[in-house]
Structure 1
Amino acid sequence: MSQSPCPLYRVENGVAVITLSQPPVNPLSHAVRSAIVEGVDRAHTDVAVRAIVIVGAGRYFSAGADMREFGTPAATQEPTLSTVLRILDDTSKPVIAAIEGVAMGGGLELALACHYRVAQAGTQVALPEVKRGILPGAGGTQRLPRLLGVEAALDMIVTGKTVTAAALGAPLFDRVVDGEVLSAALALAQEVADSRPLPRVRDRQVKLPGADAFFQHARRIVQARSPNLPAPLKCVDAVAAALEPFDIGLPKERAMFVELSRSREARALQHGFFAEREAPKIPALPAGTQARDVQAGAVIGAGTMGGGIAMNFANAGIPVWLRETSQEALDRGLGIIRRNYEASAKKGRLTDAQVEQRMALIRPTLQYADIAQADVVIEAVFEDWGVKETVFRTLDEVMKPGAILATNTSTLDVNRIAAFTRRPQDVVGLHFFSPANVMRLLEVVQGAATAPDVIATAMALAKRFSKVGVLSGVCDGFIGNRMLDRYIRQAHFLLEEGALPEQVDRALEKFGMAMGPCRMNDMVGNDIGWAIRKRRYVEYPDQAFARVADPLCEAGRLGQKAGKGWYRYEPGKRDPIPDPEVRALIEAYSAQHGITRRRISDQEIVERTVFALVNEGARLLEEGIAQRASDLDAVFLTGYGFPAFRGGPMHYAESVGLFNVLRTIRGYAARGVGGGAFWTPAPLLERCVSEGRGFADLT
């Protein structure tokens, strides 16, 4: 047996117990797969063994494929998972899966190939491959419908959603227990040791009256929901193949798996998956850096952002003080928090008891003295230097030594904020995205003096908040908003040159953006961008700006909250309605500035906005503001609605070809559109092209 972490083998009362032992989640690595086969073969040759139990060590059965093997020879080295499952199918002694914690992807497929399954009630099971742009490739689409039925199985496979064992019950599981799962599996093994023939899932038949009509309807729904993704439709086709004999359906599943694995969308989705997991890793931290202990938190400001940040603490089970300047503001903030939790309870995501537990963790106060013992305090007040200075000078006075002082600023200089205190080593930026209790991105901004253990603590806190923490250096807008500024600027240049808001939004939403820039600004509030632009006009007088949005704001068109912005909105609704007044305003602006409007293609809209992101991203990498290109992708995938099937702006650029990106940028510079000098190529981009390498190779 391999000496690397792998299944352990023992015999207990005539039952061979094969323990998957590769902590923490027992992935099905090549070593594990090999040892499963070795264990099964060993059990077969032992006449004293009457049954076999496969169980996971620790708190998990198996999370499926070993992600570290993706793209390596080990991923396809025999025995593959398909080979392991075929061996289980051919086993003459009963095999029982004892499932606890999670059985995901290949882990669930392994369980489905066993003759019997015993699960702890809270075990989470899923076939999430569709989220990586593929489908289950080891019989999952063939076996699950044979147990759950076509409709329930198709829903799990097409969505990739996670379900508990208790919710699924029989016939997927032979027993669902509240107690210790291995004991229950061993008891079942004794009961079925002499049962013959063995119940193989593959031998079941799937019957579905009106199958053709059902699958046609399913394809229409899936196509409408996922127009840019091939995997969901292939999932439908694979489940449809389960109606055929297993030996016919299984090769069809495999062929579709291989086809999807080679798709651009799968590569992009998998890139995003790995980008999220790579982002929290900070090679520059000294070896052995330990995070500070966080037992209690505090938030300054109970507005929309502050309330959302407080909810993150409560959701993680961390007591948090919520400080405001008036009882009225405090009550309003707490009311919004409660309504958010109660809305979750109505959707079945929380129980009433959980709502009350979380509300009890949020401690309202009007006094700074009450928060003095918090381990971390996060400021979420108005983006004004005077307000920030007052808050941080006060925190410096009242907070205990060693407390982390964090700012939620989205653009302001964290070093200047740290200078308001006598402990700049304890100051860090924690930039949440609105709504803070929902959005998964958390930019961790490292100041010049920020201590390593503060960064380690911030990343650990992001994990406790179930967020993707991404490290950024200090610059105007950090990673996300600095790149977004260039994206928005190009959108504004396009408007003044000839496009209209609805065309810009439509082109980018067709590209896959969750929301076009004009719709996004209307939702956030056009006054916010206006305030930032006015500051930048002064601070960066040499930079090119399109000021077409300024007259919009001057006319009171501040977005959805005003009932009008780039679009108009009916009372109580958020549907954007193109407004002739906006067209007239834009055309008047163009005429006033001597700009001859022209017809602009959707391709130009996408190229100029997205390549503006890429060019600025290359500058951030060269300046050391971001650690790696994949971090930039993680930011835009988790915080800005960039289409996951394109893998983030930097990955998308490499899929298009950096040569093509650079050539297009130079073309726009030569034409003098979009600010002319705006299109000066980033030196890193030019170097990548000249050396024929990618961003990751040169950073």
Structure 2
Amino acid sequence: CAGSTFIAGADISEFGKPPRGPDFNAVLNSIEAAAKPVVAAIHGTALGGGLETALVCHYRIAVPSAKLGVPEVKLGLLPGAGGTQRLPRVVGVEAAATMTSTGDPLPASKAKELGLVDELAGEDSLAADAIVFARAKIADGPRPTRERPVFGDVALIEQLKTANAKRWRGFEAPYANLACVEAATRLPFEEGLAFEREQFMKLMFGSQSAAQRHIFFAERQAAKIDGLPKDTQLREIKKVGVIGAGTMGGGISMNFLQKGIPVTIAEMQQDALDRGTGVIRKNYEASAAKGRFKPEQVEQMMSILTPTLNLDDLADCDLIIEAVYENMDVKKDIFAKLDKIAKPGAILASNTSYLDIDEIATATSRPGDVLGMHFFSPANVMKLLEVVRGEKTAPDALATAMAIGKKIGKVAVVAGVCDGFIGNRMLKPRQVEAMNLLMEGATPQQIDKVHVEFGMPMGPFQMSDLAGVDIGWHRDPTRIESIRDALAAVGRWGQKTGKGFYDYDEKRNPSPSAEVAEIIEDFRSRSNKAKREISDQEIIERTLYPMVNEGALILSEGKAQRASDIDVVWIYGYGWPVYRGGPMFWAGLEGTDKIVAALEKHGFAVA
């Protein structure tokens, strides 16, 4: 068949705009009402409106490589042209509910198994096979989908809700999709269509879909580098070096190995090297046990990992990523050595989360090759990659880092050099204000609850316990200058010690700590701070609004290319709820005047 695909779906940029003729539903209804059998011959993808088109056809034939699905839920929507009403009549309630509420596409083989596809064609003979298939169906006549009965157990919808309660927390669209599928089981077809349309319009003009569509476009926009010459040639990355076999270095290495890119991983001590490579293998084997990899794939990936104790072995690498602990002198020493070892044109990257890339680059004679590649932990799981452009970073080095980030499955965002870059710089005022709120009378539980109810995966103190309360601690138990110092001094280092801002059981379930309450009260009284009632709204105003303020500063300083890049960083790096669109998009919904007034009320300098 002509073209690369059947129908990939609607033009998302048209959503929310006045409709133009012809009416899509009218077109679909006319196909379904045709007096002769209509066959959909599917190759490539049949997604969204594409699958809804296939559903009004009386029969469907597809090549084995085809994908079929209704991904609208991922944009905060539902199939609005009869998809939620026709699917249960073709594949049954359970499959229809699963497809619409998750948005995951099906391979043609699974679609055939469910009855969504009637026949599989040859990969290269779709047109000919479809004609033969259509001729065979002439005697059967048309088979209007709307006239077919809905089948399956409606109770499965409730089971789906229960199974996905955590994943769907705060989202509207999955539940609206399920409500429409449920409606198909009890309403006549036309009434079901009317219900679907009502739900679709409610989602279309709601804030959640606007936020999710914003992120869809923001992710694609983030890949663009402002001011990059159009004729910029990418450097070839055939082999990668990673310095440091700890948690970050191992995770970073896994990204490249999974894409078939050989990695040489360097450490200073044999036991650290063995431990690091052992963790990589263990992680791959755990994934293989879950069916993600075949055992032979694990062996293939491990076969292109070369462990070494000698930095000289990185001499043939095209990209070298330093992933040692955060100490400027240590990093500069490593880069000075790499300057002598690395081949000409090799990109030298630091995984630092906040240190000055320009200062690191001064340790080399090739600052144009130096940049930051800040992976987020766990590096083999988290999708965000901040690519930090130094003052002298060459355009082709930056473009190559962005491209290799995309190749290994990351969402890469360009950041400028500043303390904490984009994400951690915005995180800092939130954490500072969370501690200030503790001193004034709020509890860790209240502050964390407000953030979780907002949609964050965890609050500031849950995050501290996960990362480690002792990170950055001066290690002097007699020097108590903050609540964090007081906790660290008595061994409350977070989840790893079973106690931090919370107490943890053997399954790491948190509970409020009487000891922490005493420590906070003692520190508050010694600091002559008066305890008062603090509202949930004040917590929002003093923890999230300052983040927006910092984001505005980052933009004004040119450390982020665009506001939507900041949103992408927080969605993919910190778990900001996608249905709120990122901090800068959310600020637009909250209202700039409201945020400015609150910041001024609480004594912040407004950007």
The TM tier, using the shorter chain, reads: over 0.9
| Aligned partner (choices 408, 425, 430) of residue 465 of structure 1 | 408
Contact 2:226/2:561, CA 8 A, preserved across alignment: no
CA gap 1:114/1:355 in 2 versus in 1, 3 angstroms: farther
Match of 1:174 among 118, 123, 145: 118
Tell me which of 138, 145, 152 is aligned to 1:201: 145
Residues 548 and 408 of structure 1: CA distance in aligned 2, closer, same or farther (over 3 Å): same
CA distance in 2 between partners of 1:446 and 1:125 (Å) = 40
Distance 1:110 1:90 in 2: 13
RMSD: 2.1
Q: 1:305 aligns with which of 212, 228, 248?
A: 248
Displacement of 1:412: 0.2
Shift of 1:363: 2.1
- The residue aligned with 1:610 is 544
Alignment of 1:406-417 (within 5 A): 406-417=349-360
Structure 1 stretch displaced more, 110-119 or 473-482: 110-119
SS in 2 for 1:455: helix
Q: Aligned to 2:544, what secondary structure does the other structure show? A: helix
Distance of 2:335 and 2:522 partners within structure 1: 45
Q: Number of residues paired by the alignment?
A: 600
Offset at 1:429? 0.4
> Residues 23-102 of structure 1 correspond to what in structure 2 (within 5 A)?
57-58=3-4, 60-73=5-18, 76-102=19-45
CA distance in 2, matches of 1:488, 1:351: 42
Letter in 1 for 2:14: E
1:591 alignment counterpart? 525
Equivalent AA in structure 1 for residue 78 of structure 2: L
Deviations 1:241-273 (A, max 9, x none): 223333232222112111111111111121122
C-alpha distance in 2, partners of 1:426/1:586?
48
Structure 1 residue aligned with 2:478: none
Q: Out of 487, 490, 498, which is 1:563 matched to?
A: 498
Taking only the aligned residue pairs, the percentage that are identical comes to 49
CA distance in 2, matches of 1:609, 1:419: 36
Instruction: Encode CA deviations 1:436-456: one digit per residue, 9 max, x unaligned.
Output: 010011001000000111111
- The correspondence of residues 239-388 of structure 1 with structure 2, limited to 5 A, is 239-243=181-185, 244-388=187-331
Per-residue deviation, residues 322-352 of structure 1 (Å, max 9, x unmatched): 1122222122111111121122222222222
Deviation at 1:553, TM superposition (A): 2.1
* 1:232 and 2:174 matched: yes
- From 436, 448, 463, the equivalent of 1:493 is 436
Write out aligned runs for 1:175-190 (5 A): 175-177=119-121, 179-180=123-124, 182-183=126-127, 185-189=129-133
Structure 1 residues 395 and 221: alpha-carbon distance in aligned structure 2, compared to 1, 3 A threshold: closer
The amino acid of 2:181's aligned partner reads: V
Q: Deviation per CA, 1:415-465: give whole Å up to 9, x if none.
A: 001111111001110000000010011001000000111111111111111
8 A Cα contact 2:65 2:123, kept in partner: no
1:143 aligns with 2:68: no
Give 3-state SS (helix, strand or coil) of 1:195's partner. coil
2:335 aligned partner: 392
Counterpart-to-counterpart distance in 1, 2:487 and 2:340 = 43
Shift, 1:100, TM fit: 3.1
CA distance in 1, matches of 2:31, 2:423: 49
Structure 1's 288 and 229: CA in aligned 2 closer, same or farther, altered over 3 A? same
**Is residue 275–residue 634 contact of structure 1 (8 Å, CA) maintained in 2?**
yes
Report Cα offsets for 1:68-91 as digits up to 9, x if no partner.
434445xx2122443432232133
Question: 1:469 and 1:307 mapped to 2: Cα distance?
Answer: 19
Q: Deviations over 1:110-160 (max 9, x none)?
A: 222222222233433321211211111111111211111101110111122
Residue 177 of structure 2 aligns to which amino acid in structure 1? Answer: C
Q: Distance in 1 between matches of 2:460 and 2:304?
A: 37
Q: Could you say which residue in structure 2 is the equivalent of 1:436? A: 379
Query: Partner residue of 2:554?
Result: 620
CA distance in 2, matches of 1:224, 1:393: 48
TM-score (norm 2): 0.94
| 1:214 to 1:434, Cα distance in 2 relative to 1, 3 A | closer
CA deviation string 1:463-503 (max 9, x = no partner): 11111111110000000000000111111111111111111
- Structure 2 Cα separation of the partners of residues 376 and 148 of structure 1: 49
CA separation in 1, counterparts of 2:398 and 2:236? 13
Please report how far the alpha carbon of residue 225 of structure 1 lies from its aligned counterpart in structure 2 after TM superposition. 5.3
State the shift of 1:655 in Å: 0.4
Which residue matches 2:461? 518
Residue by residue over 1:42-79, the C-alpha shift from the partner in whole angstroms, topping out at 9 and shown as x without a partner, is xxxxxxxxxxxxxxx23x43331223434445xx2122
2:57 is the alignment partner of 1:114: yes
- Amino acid aligned to 1:459: M
Distance 1:191 1:101 in 2: 23
Distance of 1:374 and 1:195 partners within structure 2: 65
State how far apart, in whole Å, the 2-side matches of 1:312 and 1:232 are.
31
Q: 1:218 to 1:373 in 2, by over 3 A?
A: closer
SS in 1 for 2:6: coil
Aligned: 1:635 with 2:560: no
TM-score (norm 1): 0.82
Instruction: Give the aligned residue type for 2:173.
Output: A
Question: How far apart in 2 are the matches of 1:69 and 1:281?
Answer: 22
Q: Secondary structure at the match of 1:526?
A: coil
Q: Who is 1:654 aligned against?
A: 588
User: Using the alignment, how far apart are the partners of 1:98 and 1:322 within structure 2?
Assistant: 49
**Alpha-carbon distance between aligned partners in 2 of 1:97 and 1:360, rounded to the nearest angstrom:** 45
**Structure 1 Cα separation of the partners of residues 15 and 229 of structure 2:** 29
Q: Is the 8 A contact 1:275 1:630 kept in 2?
A: yes
Distance (Å, rounded) in 2 between the aligned partners of 1:312 and 1:296:
13
Contact 1:94 1:192 in 2 (8 A): no
Structure 2 residues without counterparts, runs of 5 or longer: 476-480
Going from structure 1 to structure 2, the CA distance change for 1:286 and 1:175 (only over 3 Å counts) comes to same
Contact 1:505 1:515 survives alignment (8 Å): yes
CA distance in 2, matches of 1:477, 1:198: 63
Q: Which residue of 1 aligns with 2:390?
A: 447
Letter in 2 for 1:63: A
